[in-house]
C-alpha cells in the first residue's frame, strides 16, 4: 500500500480535505489529445508522445485546481491507452496530486474475485510503502462482497458502482425485483451492509458509492439506504447534472457526498487560449461555489464535525437478484 500520511482512514481524510477547502467537489481529469490546448498537442502519434502530452496537461490541471478543490479523479483509461508510457504518466500525475495535498480517486472500475481481485488491488494501491497510490478506487459491484473487500485495505477507500449516470445503465440498475426494489437499491443495501465494517471516526465508511448526478429522482432513496456512505456523484455539468439534481445526495447536515465534474472544468478554454490554466481555475471555482451553495455552506466556511450514524441493518433479500 502506498504511504497515506495524516488521518489513516480514507473517509476521514476525504472529509478533512473537504473541510479544508469548504466545498465537496472533485475535478475529473480525463485527458483526450484532441481536446488539449494547441500548444500541448504532440507532433507525433506515438504512445510516448501521447503520454507526454496528457501528462503535461494533467499537471497543468493540478496547478489550476489545487487551491480550489479537495479532490481529483484520474480516469485510468485515458492514460492506459498509451500503454506503459501512459501508466508511467498516470503514476507521475498521481504522485504530483498527492504532493499538492489533493485526495485522489483512481477511476478504474476494477472488478474480479479471489486472487485476481487481490492482484488488481495490489496494482492499484501497491505493495511497496512510499510509492504513489490513490486514496480511493472505483470498483464494479457485480461480484458482490467478493469483488469489493480485497480493495478495502487499511487506509484505502472504495467507491462501488450503485447507480451510474449513463442511460444504458437503466436496463440493469432500474429493473425491479419481486419485492419492488430496484437492482440499484439492492446493490445499495449490499454496499451499506459491507461498509458497516469499515467506519471511520466521522461516521462514514471507507466503502462509498457512485450515484450519478442525473438520477435525482432516485438519489434520495439511495441516500437513505446508505447513511454511512460517502456518495461520489459524477455527471455534474457536461452530462446534465446541476445543483438541484445533486441536492438529494447530501445528508441533512450538508455532508456525505462529493460532486465530480470533468469536461465542464478541464476543457473550459478555447483551444488556442494561452491562459488555459486560468480558465480551468475559474471553472473549478464556479463548480465549487455552485455545490457549496447546495450544502448551505458558502465556500470557505464548511462546518466540520459529524455525529456517527448507526450502522445499517444486514442486507435482506440478496438472493432475489
Distance of CA 184 to the CA centre of its chain: 18
| 174 contacts 183 by C-beta, under 8 angstroms | yes
* pLDDT for the residue numbered 226: 98
* pLDDT for the residue numbered 214: 81
Among 5, 73, 109, 319, the active-site one is: 109
Phi-psi region of 22 (alpha: psi -120 to 50; beta: other; left: phi over 0): left
Sign of the Cα torsion 176, 168, 208, 140 reads positive
pLDDT, tens digit (0-9, with 9 covering 90-100), for 144-178: 999 999 999 999 999 999 999 888 999 999 999 99
Q: What range does the domain containing 147 cover?
A: 10-295
Beta strands in the chain (DSSP E): 25-29, 71-75, 103-110, 136-139, 157-163, 207-211, 231-233, 257-261
The answer to whether residue 308 sits within a structural domain is no
The answer to whether residue 314 sits within a structural domain is no
* pLDDT for the residue numbered 115: 94
The answer to whether residue 1 sits within a structural domain is no
Sign of the Cα torsion 244, 289, 277, 52 reads negative
Q: pTM for the whole thing?
A: 0.89
**CA distances (Å), 122 to each of 130, 176, 197, in order?**
14, 36, 21
The answer to whether residue 310 sits within a structural domain is no
Give the residue ranges of the chain where pLDDT is below 70. Answer: 1-7, 127-131, 237-241, 296-321
The answer to whether residue 302 sits within a structural domain is no
* pLDDT for the residue numbered 310: 34
* pLDDT for the residue numbered 216: 83
Q: Is 5 a catalytic residue?
A: no
pLDDT, tens digit (0-9, with 9 covering 90-100), for 230-288: 999 998 866 666 778 889 999 999 999 999 999 999 999 999 999 999 999 999 999 99
Q: Which three cell numbers stand for residue 108?
A: 478504474
The answer to whether residue 301 sits within a structural domain is no
DSSP one-letter code for 290: H
Closest of 30, 23, 21, 25 to residue 266, by C-alpha: 30
The answer to whether residue 304 sits within a structural domain is no
- CATH number of the domain enclosing 37: 3.20.20.70
The answer to whether residue 311 sits within a structural domain is no
- Kindly provide the b/e burial profile for residues 258-281, where b requires at least 16 CB atoms within 10 angstroms of the residue's own CB: bbbbbebbbbbbeeeeeebbebbb
* pLDDT for the residue numbered 243: 78
Residue 257 φ then ψ, to 5°? -150, 155
**What's the total number of domains in the chain?**
1
Amino acid at each position: 500500500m502506498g504511504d497515506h500520511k495524516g488521518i489513516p482512514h480514507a473517509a476521514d481524510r476525504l472529509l478533512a480535505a473537504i473541510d479544508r477547502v469548504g466545498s465537496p467537489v472533485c475535478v475529473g481529469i480525463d485527458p483526450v489529445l484532441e481536446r488539449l490546448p494547441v500548444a500541448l498537442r504532440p507532433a507525433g502519434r506515438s504512445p510516448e508522445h501521447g503520454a507526454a502530452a496528457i501528462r503535461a496537461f494533467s499537471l497543468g490541471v493540478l496547478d489550476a485546481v489545487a487551491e480550489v478543490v479537495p479532490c481529483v479523479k484520474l480516469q485510468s483509461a485515458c492514460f492506459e491507452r498509451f500503454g506503459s508510457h501512459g501508466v508511467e504518466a498516470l503514476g507521475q500525475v498521481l504522485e504530483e496530486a498527492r504532493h499538492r495535498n489533493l485526495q485522489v480517486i483512481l477511476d478504474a472500475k476494477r472488478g474480479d474475485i479471489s486472487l485476481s481481485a487481490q492482484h488488481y488491488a495490489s496494482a492499484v494501491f501497491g505493495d511497496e510503502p512510499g510509492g504513489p497510490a490513490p486514496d480511493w478506487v472505483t470498483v464494479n459491484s457485480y461480484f458482490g462482497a467478493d469483488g469489493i473487500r480485497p480493495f478495502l485495505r487499511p487506509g484505502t477507500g472504495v467507491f462501488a458502482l450503485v447507480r451510474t449516470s449513463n442511460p444504458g445503465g437503466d436496463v440493469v440498475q432500474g429493473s425491479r425485483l419481486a419485492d419492488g426494489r430496484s437492482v440499484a437499491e439492492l446493490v445499495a443495501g449490499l454496499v451499506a451492509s459491507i461498509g458497516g465494517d469499515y467506519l471511520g471516526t466521522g461516521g462514514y465508511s471507507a466503502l462509498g458509492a457512485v450515484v450519478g448526478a442525473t438520477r435525482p429522482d432516485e438519489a434520495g432513496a439511495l441516500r437513505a439506504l446508505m447513511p454511512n456512505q460517502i456518495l461520489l456523484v459524477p455527471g455534474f455539468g457536461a452530462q446534465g447534472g446541476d445543483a438541484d439534481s445533486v441536492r438529494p445526495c447530501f445528508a441533512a447536515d450538508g455532508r456525505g457526498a462529493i460532486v465530480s465534474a470533468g469536461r465542464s472544468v478541464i476543457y473550459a478554454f478555447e483551444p488556442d487560449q494561452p491562459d488555459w490554466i486560468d480558465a480551468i481555475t475559474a471553472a473549478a471555482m464556479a463548480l465549487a461555489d455552485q455545490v457549496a451553495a447546495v450544502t448551505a455552506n458558502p465556500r470557505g466556511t464548511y462546518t466540520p464535525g459529524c455525529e456517527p450514524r448507526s450502522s445499517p441493518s444486514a442486507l435482506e433479500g440478496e438472493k432475489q437478484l
